[in-house]
Copies of this chain bind each other. A is one copy, B any other.
């Protein structure tokens, strides 16, 4: 919310500040309205990621293309304490959990602690490329949110995945993989305590 005062919003909209105040009730009212708008717009698009064959990386890429401003807003709101967008993170994590469970039912049982942990971390990693968008722009020299550039990050994510898996399946990563498997044993059986 910082850096966007009611007066700025009103000036951008071409009306007075009092009208904005009158229409939304308060500053929080503006944010709630924005959250609801973006949430609704993104939900319909995101549903395709669950029951479709679309991968998580491509899902983000298609979101970029569909609503660049909405994605930028989400990236910004995720680091504020916006309660509406907090549910969007949870929804993303739930989508990841469903995807993990659908892909490996015995490895990521529904409701298990391991599925919950992995899904949350996965959502944080993918949304992290959004939140740190400004740094990626500076590092890459191009804007991944610009039209036609959406593939850069999603492809890189997939490539990192494959590279990391190769590393973990090598001799160097064998002990890491073994230690990880032990921890997973306990978590897989444990139901998540809500």
Contact = CB atoms under 8 A, between A and B. Distances in A.
Given A100-B163, A177-B162, A124 B132 contact: yes
A118 interface: yes
Interface string A130-150: 011011101111000000000
From A114, A121, A128, residue with most partner B Cβ within 10 Å: A121
Interface in A164-179: 164-169, 172-173, 176-177
Given A81-B134, A86-B138, A132-B131, A160 B55 contact: no
B131 A79 contact: yes
Interface string A93-121: 10000001001100110000010111011
A24 interface: no
Contacts of A2: 2
Contacts of A108: 163
Contacts of A116: 139-140
A153 interface: yes
A180 B162 contact: yes
B180 A155 contact: yes
A168 B163 contact: no
Nearest to A89: B135
A89 to B, nearest CB: 4
Given A103-B163, A165-B166, A180-B158, A132 B138 contact: no
7 contacts: A55-B167, A78-B132, A118-B160, A121-B153, A127-B132, A128-B129, A128-B131
Interface of A: 2, 53, 55, 78-79, 81, 86, 89-90, 93, 100, 103-104, 107-108, 114, 116-118, 120-129, 131-132, 134-136, 138-141, 151-153, 155-169, 172-173, 176-177, 180, 183-184, 193
